[in-house]
Amino acid sequence: MTSPAADAFVEVRRDRARAEFAEWNLVIGFREREIRRIDSTDDAPISKELARRAIALDIAQQLRITENAVWRIIVQGEEVRDRTPAVWAAFREGVLDARRIGLIADVVAKLHTPRALEAVDQNAAAYGAEHTPGELRGWLKRLRARLEPEQVEDESAHAMERRHVEISHNDDGTSWLSALLPTGVAVAVGNRLRAAAKALPSVNPDTGERDRRTRDQKQADLVAHWLTCSEGTSTDIRAEIAITIDATDLIGLTHGGGFTRGGREPVPAAWARELAASEHALFRRLVLDPLGNVMDTTKLGYQPAGSLREALRWRDGTCRVAGCQADIRDTDLDHELAYDRGGTTCADNLRSLCRKHHNMKSHDHLDRRSLAPPVRLVESYVVGAPVIYRPVPTESRISS
């Protein structure tokens, strides 16, 4: 049973989403009506084309937004309305807001098969309504990688050709160094940086001074040191990088992709096979139940064993607070029922919390309702009969 305050927040959220739908519906409907009016005239073709372009400018001035914002509404709105009618209906009812619709539209535009479209249309609204935009973006990415692995792998191969390093200089004596890298390599770089920064001594052994650098500062200094003091150009991945991949995909019998720790980012199966062939690869067998949950293990004592810590990292994926995307390597293992009150050191009583949320819990400011269930390494979705979209006359859509 929800509280009146919680119900009020839900209603405000849905009212805001319905208002955004009304704006999008008005923009799309007005443009369609204007295009029909322009096309019915006897004006020269060039005049008609210029008049069509002026529609977006007129809308932008009426709404006090940019033309680019108007075109984003038009392109994304038509994509969702025409290809995923159930998602569009969820937008109309206030279940999804404009930001989530935009994320869904960007993925829908890349889909090639009717089966993939049906899967997104029948599952995205339910997932998006219960998760943050960041979580929805990751879920859509994973769903597409599972439904269209060959297309995703082709895109990854083309994207690899664009890898590069870019340096841009600011006016304050600092510069940006950015690199477009394969996802697997970027994950390995991030893991190595995080581990190396944590391993740095808190006190300088030569001077005895305390290292007051933040973690971000330490990682920036490490990158600078590695790039200016190391030799060679070959990439030899030694940092820990965890990949989940079906056995049949790993040996090449099927063509599904792999996913980084916790199933967060898809990586090409070919890259995962190449990594598996490396002399530095270490395989861990993780036993799952039929739903994709890491099976439980218990240890007597307060500190979890290394194997239990590793299993919980896989199980939780990130901080367990709903919507928090703190990396699992930056979390603490928290006893739900305190150890000194009889709580056991087992998976059922342990959950990963980032330091901020761990401190909130320790001071009784973290409601259990704020916790999300553990990540499942096997995600399910339904594909049934497609929803038939019957267009509503433009005037009705504008007034709805």
| Residue-wise pLDDT tens digits, 324-378 | 888 887 888 888 888 888 888 887 888 899 999 998 888 888 888 888 887 666 6
Placement of tokens 């967060």 in the chain:
264
Q: Reply yes or no on whether the pLDDT at 168 is more than 90.
A: yes
Give Cβ neighbours of residue 41 (< 8 Å, ≥ 6 apart). Answer: 48
Give Cβ neighbours of residue 8 (< 8 Å, ≥ 6 apart). Answer: none
Q: Which residue has the higher pLDDT, 269 or 328?
A: 328
- The winner for highest mean pLDDT among 219-223, 243-247, 272-276, 309-313 is 219-223
pLDDT one-digit tens code per residue, 113-143: 999 999 999 999 999 999 999 989 989 998 9
CATH no. of 298-370 = 1.10.30
- What percentage of the chain exceeds 90 in pLDDT? 39
Task: Write down the pTM of the prediction.
Answer: 0.69
Integer Cα distance of 186 and 191 in angstroms: 9
Confidence of residue 394 (pLDDT cuts 50, 70, 90): very low
pLDDT value of position 96: 97
Distances (CA, A) of 231 to 84, 201, 226, 228, 235: 52, 25, 9, 8, 11
- The winner for highest mean pLDDT among 28-32, 52-56, 265-269, 340-344 is 28-32
Q: Which residue has the higher pLDDT, 374 or 56?
A: 56
Placement of tokens 């799309």 in the chain:
28
Tokens in use for 150?
Answer: 């060959």
pLDDT value of position 87: 97
Instruction: Please report, for the chain, the start and end positions of each structural domain, with discontinuous segments joined by +.
Output: 4-147, 164-229, 298-370
pLDDT value of position 289: 57
pLDDT one-digit tens code per residue, 181-211: 988 888 888 888 888 888 888 888 888 899 9
Confidence of residue 313 (pLDDT cuts 50, 70, 90): confident
In 3D, which of 70, 75, 130 has the Cα closest to residue 100? Answer: 130
